[in-house]
Structure 1
Amino acid sequence: MNDQANNLRRMLHMASDGKRGTKVIAVVSGKGGVGKSNFSLNFALQLKKAGKKVILFDLDIGMANADILMGFSSKYTFVDMIEHELSIWDIIEEGSNNLSFIAGGTGLSSMFQLNPRKLSRFLQQLELINGEFDYIIFDMGAGATKDRFNFILSATEVIVVTTPEPTSVTDAYAMLKYIQLKDQNIPVSVLVNRAESNSEGKKTFENLKVVSGQFLQKDISLLGIIPNDPIVLKAVKAQVPFSLYSPDSKPSKAVIKIANDYIGENTFEEKKEPFQMFLNKFKKYFLDK
């Protein structure tokens, strides 16, 4: 494990010239079953394919399954880093296409209940990877809890995943409302998943945008639309990310475009030292319990 960690560190250091700091993206949903984890994984893979250094953190309490979606069995988890005082480099594993990821584990709920000593150690470990990655992607659990929001509100930006189903849209709006109540300045974009057509996806987003602007005074942007396709379920059963399982499928082409557009358009204003801002906010939210 130490050899693997050292090799990973060396590879990242070699590619870290001109680094601007690590950006933290929280991927959330108002309800479960909307394809959030699948999107997080494939989005991360395509950002990496486009030349970015990416690490996926599986923070979905009780449903942590990024490793399963890749057909891997993780040796260590986030919880091991805290409970057994491992280095963060020891728990970083390489999944599909050498994507760096950290598994959540079944005891992940303890991650959201850190005492001051464990919080200090957690932050120290996170600081070790600042600048080593362009993006940290938090695959958060569905719904809203206070402790979970310490991670979400500390992020550089938030992606809300929804489907066109009315219950999903309603729950996505509830998530947007909660975010806006806590932090009016955090950038939020929406990913519409499982759309039967592009027009349905756009209509779903526009409905959310209108109500968010009218009732929350929150401006949101459209990250992208991923079409509904049975190939995604086939990929899940095969335990291969769908963008690798069937690169020419419509969902794969959609997530590839989303990743490339995200990199190329710089949708959100770049901030100085985004990771340090994340650490400062994270510490504040936990200490203000």
Structure 2
Amino acid sequence: MRDQAESLRKKLQFQQNNKIAKTIAVISGKGGVGKSNFTLNFSISLSKKGHSVLIFDMDIGMGNIDILMGTSTERTIVDFFNRGIPLADIISSGPDRVSFIAGGSGLSNLFELEDEMFERYLAELEEVMQRFDYIIFDMGAGITSESSRFILSADELFVITTPEPTSVMDAYSIMKYLVSVNPEVELFLVCNRVQDEKEGKETVKRLQNVLFKFLNKQAIPLGYLPDDKTVMKAVSRQVPFSIFNPNCDAAISLEQLTQRYEKSSFKEDISLRKNNFLGKLKNYFLGRQA
């Protein structure tokens, strides 16, 4: 058990700092679109710009962020729930000062916690959030009614698709569901593995048009990443492609995308927002919000 005086000291320090991370949920309608690879390299890009970033691998059964970065860790999110290890103690160090919490198998009921355990999770998550500028949740592919609560609590959502018609349709379907639950959700679009600039722009524009026509919803286009062979080479060597070859086409496009995000993202103090991440998460999971 942690010393109570030390815990109080940390809490007071956090309050004085008045800082809380912006939360981003990275989602996709289907697997195999490069969602986790994007999450990792985008986090590195943010870190290189001076931001402190924590990746939270929420793909419980298929978590692979640590594999993509070639880093092994003895502790995962499962240890927090099953062994009572403090959330802060399962944070590991990744490349370029990016921190991460690894996912793990054997915990299929993350979104169906008992109230007491969920309150503990919220309390420790709040402490962690005050140590970072961004927390990026790499969600599992697809969506369930339970995981949607967590996704909709995030400040912003990044939807990853590829130009394939099935991928575009699945991306639209997941956004349609989320908008039906919360029309105010912040959506950002990223198209991965495009053959050329024209294909990337057309895919994103098509999704934007369909969203506006049928859902009256605006989504912010962040950009696209090319189908770069360097990416697969980097994956096979377990090195993020933005580190493996910073001058490759994918890394250059990612840098431009990150700059575009910094200009597009809202700038207000998130800790002062009426419906911040922790508040929404508590409301969703404790049944005080539909």
The TM-score, its normalising length taken from structure 2, stands at 0.90
Contact 1:87 1:125 in 2 (8 A): yes
Instruction: Tell me the residue number matched to 1:236.
Output: 235
C-alpha deviations, 1:160-181, integer Å up to 9, x for none?
0000000000000001101101
Change (3 A) 1:256 1:17: farther
Q: How many residues align structurally?
A: 278
Alignment of 1:76-155 (within 5 A): 76-155=75-154
CA contact (8 A) 1:112 1:148 kept: yes
Distance, in Å, in 2 between the alignment partners of 1:150 and 1:126 is: 16
Aligned position for 1:282:
281
What secondary structure, in the 3-state scheme, does the structure 2 residue paired with 1:128 have? helix
1:267 paired residue number = 265
Quote the offset at 1:17 in angstroms: 9.1
What is the alpha-carbon distance in structure 2 between the residues aligned to residue 175 and residue 275 of structure 1? 26
Distance of 2:17 and 2:248 partners within structure 1:
35
Unaligned regions of 5+ residues in structure 1, if any?
none
Q: CA deviation at 1:82?
A: 1.7
- How far, CA to CA, are the matches of 1:28 and 1:107 in structure 2? 21
What's the secondary structure of 1:158's corresponding residue?
strand
In 2 relative to 1, CA 275–235 (structure 1 residues): closer, same or farther, beyond 3 Å? farther
1:106-255, aligned counterparts within 5 Å? 106-255=105-254
Deviation, structure 1 residue 62:
1.7
**Deviation readout 1:24-67 (Å, 9 max, x if unpaired):** 00000000000000000000011001000110000113210000
CA deviation vs aligned residue, 1:167-206 (integer Å, no higher than 9, x gap): 0000000011011011111110100000101110110011
> For residue 250 of structure 1, what is the amino acid of its counterpart?
D
Does residue 42 of structure 2 align to residue 37 of structure 1?
Answer: no
Deviation at 1:286, TM superposition (A): 1.2
Which residue of the partner structure matches residue 54 of structure 1? 53
- Give the structure-1-normalised TM-score: 0.90
Verify the 8 A CA contact 1:30 1:168 in the aligned structure 2: yes
Deviation at 1:97, TM superposition (A): 2.1
> For 1:220-273, what per-residue CA distance to the aligned partner results, in whole angstroms no more than 9, with x for missing partners?
01011100011111111000001001110000111122122322x143353541
Q: 1:158 to 1:36 in 2, by over 3 A?
A: same
- Write the letter of the residue equivalent to 2:251: S
Unaligned ranges ≥5, structure 2: none
AA paired with 1:188?
Answer: L
| Deviation, structure 1 residue 275 | 10
Counterpart of 2:85 in 1: which secondary structure? Answer: coil
3-state secondary structure, aligned to 1:174: helix
Distance 1:219 1:235, change over 3 A: same
Amino acid at match of 2:68: L
1:20 Cα deviation from its structure 2 partner: 4.5
Where does residue 65 of structure 1 map in the other structure?
Answer: 64
Larger mean CA deviation between 274-283 and 210-219 belongs to 274-283
Shifted more, 160-169 versus 266-275: the winner is 266-275
Judge conservation of contact 1:40–1:137 (CA < 8 Å) in 2. Answer: yes
Measure, in 2, the Cα distance between the counterparts of 1:197 and 1:158.
Answer: 25
Q: Give the match's secondary structure for 1:142.
A: coil
**C-alpha distance in structure 2 between counterparts of 1:108 and 1:53, whole Å:** 28
1:69 and 1:130 map into 2 onto residues whose CA distance is: 24
Structure 1 pair 92–63 and aligned structure 2 pair: CA distance change class (3 A): same
